[in-house]
């Protein structure tokens, strides 16, 4: 196919270029024009990070073939504020309120907010929310973004002085002061470059071949045809690893590419570095892998049964880690109880969904230092592991942590950096890898799902006498952070309560599912979900207010924890009081619903009916037309 001849106005400048016809407007901006402020979060029209204006209309540039934009007037994040000039009111308001965290959604969010205020300078908060509805932010909880858009709206309309965009005065200390985020200007303007935005001269592009099977033996991998394809610099497999191949946080059970066996769908099997992404993709199709499928196991309880397929030789029972905690004598505690409540809870596997998909760039520098730039949450540990894997002294391995477009624990594992390093070493050139959203979802770790059986004994006054807690978690195909997650879940399982007798077990299990790994709260959320639900059930049975049952059991200063650590000062009482007061909580047992008098107060928003927010505006327009 021959190139398209394109002419458009981008940020006020005439641009005349030839471009490949398969490109999307997003690729044209990012790859051909090196305007990387516009981000790719999903490539499917679902996240809004790629939002730009095309002839004044907000458009998701990942959905627009570049040919369609021919002749159009394009405005991107880079064009909102003049170069070297002031940021716009919207951008400054984002800076002021702290509306950017990782910043990856922010260029798109700023574009959507700008669009909302251009479309309706008087938009109310409900309309603003609706107009931002196509833009996902994983970090901020949107609240500071709403605040920013409202401030910008009022400043633009002259209802609020521009002073509202200025920083708070310092006072007599910078600690405790709402100093504006120092990184915000680079984020609201799209200037900050994440790993996937970085380029180096002579850079190659990597693509990864992934396992289609949950469990299989690899009989042969034939890369000869792929290697012979013009434009391919190198193909790598486990056979290229010079050192001790294995990474993981607690056990190094995961090779950087499958070594003889694949253990989950999406596991890396081979990788290609080529002159461009298309060639690399084509080369993947030429790699021949023959598999012998093996029996697989998908349920953690099945995996612990005798005769279940074993994933790793070192763990014949498929148990990755079991953490026991014992304090007092639970049997005696249950014997002393007036009420015993047993129940069962489940939490699901959850995706981190950071808006920045995994990306990295590796090269070998002039001093033979293998360097990997990536949004790694743990460069110290990655350096240790990679040095062993590529058999280099530790000072010949360098990790640079690029700005992380959301991590939440999901970027703690060294999932792809090893492949990048290997390809850079083999090709002698810089190599970049950028995951697609789908690749990120299917191949990277998730929050551990949990199955929890709970037994609690209480006195009639609500005092807990004993807890027996057992949690089984599917850790998926590799160990990753499972051991640590089980440990934290166990330690914190029974909550901030003083319980004389506890028996806690958390068990992480290997299966042929997508691995589970580190995720914000590291198991504590799953375990405490069960405890806090269970306490509510008990409160109702005993006719107690839920704050009251917690107060009767909460740890006091000097408490001894479930792991028998003696604490100093304990703030749970203060925290309970604060939440109760702030919410104007009306005391009483759970299950009172509509009879409560504390509902619908000032701390709540109005409920919404989807689509209803635009209705008044639409009705008005219709009337005017009539």
Partner 1 sequence: MMQRKMRGRGVAASWYGIARTATIDRAGAWAELDDGGTGKIVTGVTEIGEGILTVLAQIAAEELGVRPEDITIGDNDTARSPEAAHAGATRQTYMIGNSVALACRDARTKLDAEIAKVWGVETETIRAFNGEIWSEGSNLRMSMEEAVDLCKKRGIVPVGSGAFTAHGTGLDPVNGTGSPWQAYVFGCQVAEVEVDTVTGEVQVLGIWAAHDVGRAINPRGVEGQIEGGVVQGLGQALMEDYQLDKGHTKTHGFAKYILPTSLDIPQINTTIIEDRDPKSPLGAKGIGEPALVPTAPAIMNAIYDAVGVRIKSLPATPEKILAALAERAMRTKGVAA
Inter-residue contact 102 to 354 (CB < 8 Å):
yes
139: contact with ligand FES by CB under 6 A: yes
Residue 460, both tokens: 């009639």
Pick one of 31, 275, 343, 498: the residue that binds partner 1 (CB under 8 A).
343
CB of 74 to ligand FES, least distance (A): 15
Phi-psi region of 473 (alpha: psi -120 to 50; beta: other; left: phi over 0): beta
Smaller CB distance to partner 1: residue 70 or 349? 349
Inter-residue contact 234 to 419 (CB < 8 Å):
no
User: Distances from the Cα of 560 to the Cαs of 328, 331, 344, 488, 553, in angstroms?
Assistant: 12, 20, 27, 17, 13
Phi-psi region of 240 (alpha: psi -120 to 50; beta: other; left: phi over 0): alpha
Binding positions for partner 1, 398-417, rule CB under 8 A: 398-409, 411-412
Pick one of 11, 36, 49, 482: the residue that binds ligand FES (CB under 6 A).
49
562: contact with partner 1 by CB under 8 A: yes
Pick one of 85, 158, 169, 176: the residue that binds partner 1 (CB under 8 A).
176
Pick one of 59, 112, 323, 355: the residue that binds ligand FES (CB under 6 A).
355
Distance of CA 504 to the CA centre of its chain: 29
Pick one of 107, 214, 300, 406: the residue that binds ligand FES (CB under 6 A).
406
Inter-residue contact 348 to 448 (CB < 8 Å):
no
CA dihedral 509, 511, 513, 518 (to 10 degrees): 20
Helix (H) or strand (E) holding 336: helix 330-336
CB of 440 to partner 1, least distance (A): 9
Q: Distance (Å, rounded) from C-alpha 399 to C-alpha 414? A: 11
440: contact with ligand FES by CB under 6 A: no
CA dihedral 82, 83, 85, 86 (to 10 degrees): 70
CA dihedral 21, 24, 29, 30 (to 10 degrees): -110
Region of 198-206, 334-342, 421-429, 568-576 interacting with partner 1 (CB under 8 A): 568-576
Region of 39-47, 224-232, 502-510, 555-563 interacting with ligand FES (CB under 6 A): 39-47
148: contact with ligand FES by CB under 6 A: no
Q: Distance (Å, rounded) from C-alpha 195 to C-alpha 405? A: 9
Task: Give the one entry of ligand FES, partner 1, none that residue 105 binds, where binding means its C-beta sits below a cut-off of 5 to 8 angstroms depending on kind.
Answer: ligand FES
43: contact with ligand FES by CB under 6 A: yes
Q: One symbol per residue from 118 to 157: x for binding partner 1 (CB under 8 A), - otherwise; what is it?
A: ----------xxx-xxxxx-xxxxxxxxx-----------
Q: How many of the chain's residues bind ligand FES (CB under 6 A)?
A: 25
Binding positions for partner 1, 428-447, rule CB under 8 A: 437-438, 441-442, 446-447
Q: One symbol per residue from 91 to 110: x for binding ligand FES (CB under 6 A), - otherwise; what is it?
A: ---------xxxxxxx----
CB of 335 to partner 1, least distance (A): 21
Of the candidates 341, 421, 411, 402, which has an alpha carbon nearest to the alpha carbon of residue 194?
A: 402
Q: How many of the chain's residues bind partner 1 (CB under 8 A)?
A: 158
Length of the chain: 626
Smaller CB distance to ligand FES: residue 48 or 409? 48
Q: What angle do CA 484, 486, 490 make, to 5 degrees?
A: 115
Smaller CB distance to partner 1: residue 232 or 364? 364
β 216-222/261-262 pair status? antiparallel
Task: Give the one entry of partner 1, ligand FES, none that residue 404 binds, where binding means its C-beta sits below a cut-off of 5 to 8 angstroms depending on kind.
Answer: partner 1
CB of 138 to partner 1, least distance (A): 7
CB of 425 to partner 1, least distance (A): 17
Q: Count how many Cα atoms sit within 13 Å of the Cα of residue 485 in the half-sphere of its side chain.
A: 33
Burial of 191 (0-12, 13-18, 19+ CB in 10 A): middle
CB of 354 to ligand FES, least distance (A): 7
**Residues of this chain that bind ligand FES (CB under 6 A):** 40-43, 45-50, 60, 62, 100-106, 137-140, 355, 406
């Amino acid at each position: 196919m021959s190139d398209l001849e394109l002419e458009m106005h981008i940020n006020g400048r005439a641009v005349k270029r030839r471009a490949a016809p398969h490109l999307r407007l997003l690729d044209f901006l990012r790859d051909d024009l090196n305007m990387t402020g516009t981000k790719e979060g999903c490539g499917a029209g679902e996240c809004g990070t790629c939002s730009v204006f095309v002839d004044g209309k907000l458009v998701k540039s990942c959905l627009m073939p570049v040919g369609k934009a021919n002749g159009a007037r394009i405005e991107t994040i880079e064009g909102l504020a003049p170069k070297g000039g002031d940021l716009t009111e919207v951008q400054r308001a984002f800076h002021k309120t702290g509306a950017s965290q990782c910043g990856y959604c922010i260029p798109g969010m700023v574009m959507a907010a700008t669009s909302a205020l251009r479309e309706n300078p008087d938009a109310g908060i409900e309309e603003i929310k609706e107009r931002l509805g196509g833009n996902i932010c994983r970090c901020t909880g949107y609240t500071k973004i709403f605040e920013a858009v409202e401030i910008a709206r009022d400043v633009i309309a002259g209802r609020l002085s521009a002073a509202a965009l200025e920083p708070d005065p310092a006072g007599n200390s910078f600690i405790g002061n709402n100093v504006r985020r120092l990184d915000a200007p680079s984020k609201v303007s799209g200037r900050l470059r994440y790993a996937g935005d970085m380029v180096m001269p002579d850079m190659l592009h990597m693509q990864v071949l992934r396992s289609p099977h949950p469990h299989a033996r690899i009989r042969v991998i034939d890369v000869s045809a792929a290697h012979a394809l013009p434009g391919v610099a190198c193909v790598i497999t486990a056979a290229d690893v010079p050192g001790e191949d294995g990474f993981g946080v607690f056990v190094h059970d995961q090779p950087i590419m499958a070594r003889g066996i694949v253990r989950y769908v999406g596991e890396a099997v081979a990788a290609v570095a080529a002159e461009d992404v298309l060639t690399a993709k084509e080369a993947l199709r030429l790699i021949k892998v023959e598999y012998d499928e093996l029996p697989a196991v998908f349920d953690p309880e099945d995996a612990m049964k005798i005769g279940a397929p074993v994933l790793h030789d070192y763990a014949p029972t498929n148990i990755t880690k079991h953490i026991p905690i014992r304090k007092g004598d639970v049997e005696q505690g249950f014997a002393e109880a007036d009420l015993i409540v047993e129940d069962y809870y489940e939490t699901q596997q959850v995706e981190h969904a950071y808006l920045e998909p995994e990306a990295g760039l590796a090269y070998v520098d002039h001093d033979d230092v293998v360097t990997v730039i990536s949004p790694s949450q743990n460069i110290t540990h990655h350096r240790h592991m990679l040095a062993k894997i590529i058999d280099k002294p530790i000072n010949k391995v360098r990790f640079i942590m690029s700005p992380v477009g959301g991590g939440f624990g999901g970027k703690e594992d060294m999932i792809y950096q090893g492949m990048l390093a290997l390809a850079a070493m083999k090709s002698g050139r810089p190599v970049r890898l950028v995951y697609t959203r789908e690749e990120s979802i299917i191949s990277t770790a998730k929050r551990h799902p949990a199955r929890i059986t709970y037994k609690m004994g209480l006195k009639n006054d609500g005092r807990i006498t004993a807890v027996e807690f057992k949690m089984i978690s599917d850790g998926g195909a590799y160990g990753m952070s499972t051991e640590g997650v089980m440990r934290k879940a166990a330690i914190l399982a029974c909550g901030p309560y003083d319980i004389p007798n506890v028996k806690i077990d958390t068990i992480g299990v290997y299966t042929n599912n997508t691995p589970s790994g580190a995720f914000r709260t590291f198991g504590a959320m799953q375990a405490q979900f069960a405890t806090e639900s269970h306490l509510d059930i008990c409160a109702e049975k005993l006719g107690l207010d839920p704050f009251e049952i917690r107060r009767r059991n909460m740890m006091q200063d000097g408490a001894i924890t479930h792991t028998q650590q003696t604490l100093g000062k304990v703030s749970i009482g203060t925290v309970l009081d604060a939440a109760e007061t702030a919410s104007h909580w009306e005391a009483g047992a759970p299950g009172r619903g509509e009879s409560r008098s504390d509902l619908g107060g000032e701390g709540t928003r109005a409920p919404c009916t989807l689509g209803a927010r635009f209705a008044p505006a639409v009705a008005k327009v219709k009337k005017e037309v009539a």
